[in-house]
Amino acid sequence: MRKVSFPRMGESYRTFKMLLNDLGNEVVLPPRPSRRTLNLGVQYSPEFACFPLKIVMGNYLEVVEQGANVLVTSGGVGPCRAGLYAELHRKTLHRMGYPVDIIVFEPPRLHPFNFIRNVHRLNPGRLSIKAVIACIKRAWRKLQALDNLEKLTHIIRPEERERGATTKVYKKVLEWVDGAYAMDEIIEAETAAVEEMNKIPRDTERLVLDVGIVGEIYVLLEPASNLEIEEALGNLGVRVERSMFLTGWTRDNTWKETTEGMTVKDAARHYLPELIGGHGRDSIGHTILYAKRGFDGVIQLAPFTCIPEIVARTILNKVSADHNIPVLTFFLDEQTGKAGMITRLEAFVDLMRRKKLQSAGLKPA
């Protein structure tokens, strides 16, 4: 019996589950990455593999234990290890006695035939092209709704009157979007969810800091991999703006690059004119754009041993000095602890708050 699964990245699994079901697949849902996921991944991955490779390895082992035998993932372009992930995972799983098939989606903009062939392989129901397009459109709309709600949590959380209220309501409304199927149901669920979230009591007088989050895609999108840093920042009175969401990344890699994507590249050009793989150049470009928009600081999230982000980190020292914006980097791996992260965040927030008050001619409390 054919059972399909995929690596978990934030809430996007809700969309992929719907799409794969629509195409006639039985889906095994990937669990939220946990300590067990990480332990499995670390145990069966090369020691110096990137952190996302290890978590995804653990996630794969959890789903193959539940019977998944087809795994769907994305490929990678540029000079870093991302393009080798799928092959390494496949070989490891085969060696462990799991003869899985891994379907790798390369960016359709660059590999249109790979996209068509893979959609065909994932369409055992043999839906017509028109029906497949309709399924993709609905899935896309659901993905947009999920991203929009997550962005809203970033705005509301630093002002919530009752600690944890945003997270509680967000968890509830996610289920509304999850249960919506037809296009109008998805739109209706999103509207109701936004209304519900806007009812959360807020203190709009509070001094809130604006911080941009840049870095490698996996650790940006999967909260379990970054120890829920955005929630922690929200609780410290910080409004975060994450530089990457799955809808934005997909848009840039599917049809054609958006003006937004090009603006980021242009901004980074002076410091880094070359593509160095991963999202290193984006981290630099976004940091400059955040500085120009008057943000109070930037946090870079980088998997331990991620070459593009290590290169970006060295350049960000200069960007930080040139554009007068504080930048804090977290290199994440299986050893990273939440308590240590919170301590560093508190110190960073304190520094930004003092700077903000001083530039407004006010005394820090």
Which residues contact ligand SF4 by CB under 6 A? 50, 52, 80-82, 216, 277-278, 303, 306-309
Contact (CB, 8 A) for 242 and 231: no
State in angstroms the smallest separation of the CB of 153 from ligand SF4.
25
Token pair for 164: 């944890």
State in angstroms the smallest separation of the CB of 218 from ligand SF4.
7
State in angstroms the smallest separation of the CB of 250 from ligand SF4.
17
Closer to ligand SF4 at the Cβ: 82 or 135?
A: 82
Instruction: Give the DSSP H or E segment for 118.
Output: helix 112-121
State in angstroms the smallest separation of the CB of 227 from ligand SF4.
17
How many other CB atoms are found less than 10 A from the CB of residue 361?
A: 6
Residues 6+ apart with CB under 8 A from 241: 154, 210, 211, 212, 213, 290, 295
User: Distance between CA atoms of 299 and 168, rounded to whole angstroms?
Assistant: 25
Closer to ligand SF4 at the Cβ: 298 or 306?
A: 306
Residues 6+ apart with CB under 8 A from 209: 158, 237, 238, 239, 296, 297, 349, 352, 353, 356
Closer to ligand SF4 at the Cβ: 247 or 283?
A: 283
Strand arrangement, sheet containing 209-215 = 238-242, 209-215, 297-303, 327-332
State in angstroms the smallest separation of the CB of 50 from ligand SF4.
3
Hey, what's the torsion of the CAs at 116, 121, 127, 130, to 10 degrees?
Answer: -10
State in angstroms the smallest separation of the CB of 53 from ligand SF4.
7
State in angstroms the smallest separation of the CB of 133 from ligand SF4.
31
Closer to ligand SF4 at the Cβ: 285 or 303?
A: 303
32 three-class SS: coil
Closer to ligand SF4 at the Cβ: 28 or 312?
A: 312
Closer to ligand SF4 at the Cβ: 119 or 316?
A: 316
State in angstroms the smallest separation of the CB of 219 from ligand SF4.
8
User: Distance between CA atoms of 36 and 80, rounded to whole angstroms?
Assistant: 27
State in angstroms the smallest separation of the CB of 33 from ligand SF4.
15
Closer to ligand SF4 at the Cβ: 230 or 309?
A: 309
Q: Read off the amino acid at residue 227.
A: L
User: Distance between CA atoms of 251 and 257, rounded to whole angstroms?
Assistant: 7
How many other CB atoms are found less than 10 A from the CB of residue 3?
A: 16
Residue nearest to ligand SF4 (CB): 278
Closer to ligand SF4 at the Cβ: 173 or 301?
A: 301
User: Distance between CA atoms of 217 and 248, rounded to whole angstroms?
Assistant: 11
Closer to ligand SF4 at the Cβ: 51 or 176?
A: 51
Closer to ligand SF4 at the Cβ: 155 or 307?
A: 307
State in angstroms the smallest separation of the CB of 175 from ligand SF4.
31
CA separation (Å) from 92 to 106, 198, 253? 21, 47, 28
Contact (CB, 8 A) for 221 and 246: yes
What is the length of the chain? 365
